[in-house]
């Protein structure tokens, strides 16, 4: 009697869909993980295929972060939920001045999700991860019933190493410090909104989603001890970030509207939609607060880096018991920059 060799049917990535068996922990799930995730994210630690990745830790202070990614639509000009989940978590580490070491990724997939889309997302993550030099070393997959997830939700966590002696924190801004931004604002939010229902229009605006760790490393060196904090203005935009800093450091912030870099098309898109670019999300930009004496050196370093070409000094930290963020408008008048109450809804009025 001969034992028939089991036919290994490849995943039908072209037409296939995720079903509940892919989350059940059995052979189907193993195949999904191998054919899609391991194929795209491949690296030595991941290849071990254990429930955890084990690695030596160089001595020192570590940073750890996690984020969930629920962006809709999943694919947008300049990126997708996959590359976003890699860049975003790397950036949270980079804002502490940390060198990102490893990422983990957990996927919650909706029953019926096309395998072609899942593969596209995994590939995008793999590319982002390789370009940044930060591998995804462990992961998890779950499948939920139709309607219980928007296609796919991704959660990534990351660990990194903080250089000895570096202590950046949101409560370290002091009057006299300079506020810098690394480039144009509003790109990501507008790129995403341009794809959504009811707000569709053709633009050339691409999401700025990018990994900032090499830029931040250069900035730390150039600041030579004068760097107080860095933060990436994601949800809530520049307005939210500046207000957070003001409240944490118990100071005021004064910025100049004319100094804030913004692409004309992004400004135009915001006008059309009745949005304030200060409230629109960014995924490849950072705000830095630097001691006055070191600000120019940091700015020069930023501008010399491909991700900081449009960097600019936009304002300063001032003493203010109310912790307001004030802006001198292009018109010469003054206004406050508040953080948003709830979700930003486009104005018609």
Coil, helix or strand at residue 335: strand
Q: How far is the CB of 179 from another protein (least distance, A)?
A: 17
3-state helix/strand/coil string of 68-131 = EECCCCCEECCEEHHHHHHHHHHHHHHCCCCEEEEEEEEEEEECCCEHHHHHHHHHHHHHHHHH
In the complex with another protein, the residue whose CB is nearer, 108 or 275, is: 275
Query: Contact between 7 and another protein (CB under 8 A)?
Result: no
196, with CB counted inside 10 A (0-12, 13-18, 19+), is exposed
Choice from 21, 106, 203, 248 touching another protein (CB under 8 A): 203
- Provide the sign of the torsion angle of the four alpha carbons 64, 290, 302, 218, taken in this order: negative
Q: Locate 93 and state its tokens.
A: 């580490």
| Interaction mask 321-340, another protein, x per CB under 8 A | -x-x-x-xxxxxxxxx-x--
Q: Among residue numbers 171 through 200, which ones bind another protein (CB under 8 A)? A: 198-199
Select 10 or 347, whichever has its Cβ closest to another protein.
347
Is residue 172 a contact partner of residue 141, using CB atoms and an 8 Å limit?
no
Which residues inside 232-261 make contact with another protein, applying CB under 8 A? 258
Tokens linked to 166: 């570096």
CA distance 255 to 284: 21
Q: Which of 8, 204, 225, 306 binds another protein (CB under 8 A)?
A: 204
By rule CB under 8 A, what string of x and - marks binding of each residue 73-102 to another protein? ------------------------------
67 and 91 Cβ atoms separated by less than 8 Å: no
Is the CB of 45 or the CB of 70 nearer to another protein?
A: 70
Nearer Cβ to another protein, position 31 or 203?
203
- CA–CA separation, 320 and 295 (whole Å): 22
Q: If 0-12 CB within 10 Å is exposed, 13-18 middle and 19+ buried, where does residue 31 land? A: middle
- The smaller minimum CB distance to another protein, of residues 7 and 349, is found at 349
- For residue 241, the minimal CB distance to another protein (Å) is 17
At closest approach, how far in Å is the CB of 349 from another protein?
Answer: 5
Token pair recorded at residue 80: 């997708």
Choose which of 61, 174, 265, 291 interacts with another protein (CB under 8 A): 265
Contact between residue 177 and residue 291 where contact means Cβ atoms under 8 Å apart: yes
Which residue in 109, 143, 269, 298 binds another protein (CB under 8 A)?
269
From the list 11, 157, 172, 267, which residue makes contact with another protein (rule: CB under 8 A)?
267
Residue 259 C-beta: closest distance to another protein, Å: 13
User: Is 98 within 8 Å of 162 (Cβ atoms)?
Assistant: yes
d(C-alpha 143, C-alpha 22), whole Å: 7
Residue closer to another protein (CB basis): 161 or 337: 337
DSSP summary character for residue 33: I
Min dist CB 50 to another protein, Å, is 41
Nearest approach, Cβ of residue 253 and another protein (Å): 11
Q: Are strands 325-328 and 75-76 parallel, antiparallel or unpaired?
A: unpaired
Q: Which is nearer to another protein, 51 or 321 (CB)?
A: 321
Residues of this chain that interact with another protein (CB under 8 A) are: 198-199, 201-205, 258, 264-265, 267-269, 271-274, 322, 324, 326, 328-336, 338, 341-342, 345-349
């Amino acid at each position: 009697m001969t034992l028939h060799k089991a036919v290994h049917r490849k995943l039908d990535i072209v037409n296939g869909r995720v079903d509940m068996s892919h989350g059940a922990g059995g052979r189907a799930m193993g195949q999904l993980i191998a054919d899609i995730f391991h194929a795209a994210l491949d690296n030595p630690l991941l290849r071990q295929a254990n429930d955890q990745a084990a690695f030596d830790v160089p001595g020192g202070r570590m940073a750890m972060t996690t984020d969930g990614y629920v962006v809709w639509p999943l694919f947008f000009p300049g990126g997708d939920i996959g590359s976003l989940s890699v860049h975003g978590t790397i950036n949270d580490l980079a804002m502490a001045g940390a060198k990102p070491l490893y990422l983990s990724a957990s996927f919650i997939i909706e029953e019926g999700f096309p395998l072609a889309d899942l593969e596209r997302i995994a590939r995008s993550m793999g590319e982002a991860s390789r370009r940044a030099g930060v591998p995804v070393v462990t992961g998890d997959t779950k499948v939920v019933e139709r309607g219980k997830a928007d296609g796919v939700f991704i959660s990534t966590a990351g660990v990194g190493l903080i250089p000895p002696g570096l202590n950046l924190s949101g409560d370290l801004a002091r009057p006299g410090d300079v506020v810098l931004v690394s480039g144009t604002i509003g790109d990501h939010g507008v790129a995403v909104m341009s794809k959504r229902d009811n707000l569709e229009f053709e633009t050339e605006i691409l999401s700025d989603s990018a990994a900032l760790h090499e830029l931040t490393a250069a900035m730390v060196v150039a600041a030579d001890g004068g760097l107080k904090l860095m933060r990436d203005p994601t949800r809530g935009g520049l307005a939210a970030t500046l207000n957070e800093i003001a409240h944490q450091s118990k100071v005021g912030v004064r910025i100049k509207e004319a100094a804030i870099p913004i692409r004309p098309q992004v400004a135009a898109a915001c006008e059309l939609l009745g949005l304030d670019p200060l409230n629109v999300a960014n995924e490849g930009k950072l705000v830095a607060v630097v001691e006055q004496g070191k600000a120019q050196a940091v700015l020069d370093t930023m501008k010399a880096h491909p991700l900081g070409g449009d960097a600019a000094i936009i304002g300063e930290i001032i003493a203010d018991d109310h912790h307001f963020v004030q802006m001198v408008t292009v018109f010469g008048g003054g206004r406050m920059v508040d953080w948003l109450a709830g979700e930003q809804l486009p104005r018609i009025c």
